[in-house]
Amino acid sequence: MTTLTGIVLAAGAGSRLGQPKALMRTADGEPWVARAARLLHASGCARVLVVLGAAAEQATSLVPIDCEILVVENWADGMGESLRAALALAGGDAALITLVDLPDLPIDVVSRMLAEPVTRQTLRQAVFEGRPGHPVLIGRAHWAGVAPTLVGDRGARDYLVANGVVEVECADLFDGHDIDRL
């Protein structure tokens, strides 16, 4: 049986939003960070790591108690720093990674990402009309290789492409756009 670690990247300052993304809430008051964490748990992730940075002290109370919190001191260096730190703490066979600023990401997208068997060699990325997005599924065999490529806000895309990522088209389920502005 495959064991997944879910990773919610929520460390950003949200400068275009006017406040840190980890503090954002839906119109009905649900914290984005809690929604993302619950989505990963509902998808079968045994563990969920929530990566915080900007406003970490305030955001901690918004994270569900069944999640682990990782505060990244160098969060301002970009998403790459957050993902590298999370992969260093992840366990199991693969990591399922999403962004906090996708509060409307439906479970159907995640289910499609997990429809095929997941192994330690798996590399999958959701795409939306061919545009790369999230979630991303990275098997454990790739964690050591991807870590040194995570620089700034580029994330893992270059590594994924160079290593034969399977792109999973999901535009029929969701538009894939993160929320940058209110």
Q: Which two tokens stand for residue 149?
A: 């490529």
CA atoms within 13 A on the CB side of 91: 4
pLDDT tens for the 182 residues of the chain, in order:
789 999 999 998 877 777 898 999 999 999 999 999 999 999 999 999 999 999 999 999 999 999 999 999 989 888 899 999 999 999 999 999 999 999 999 999 999 999 999 999 999 999 999 999 999 999 999 999 999 999 887 789 999 999 999 999 999 999 988 876 44
Q: Which two tokens stand for residue 100?
A: 């906090």
Q: What is the largest CA-CA distance in the chain?
A: 43
154 Cβ partners below 8 Å, 6+ apart?
A: 78, 79, 80
Q: How far apart are CA 59 and CA 50, in angstroms?
A: 10
pTM of the model: 0.95
- Alpha helices, DSSP H only, in the chain? 32-42, 56-59, 79-89, 107-113, 143-146, 157-162
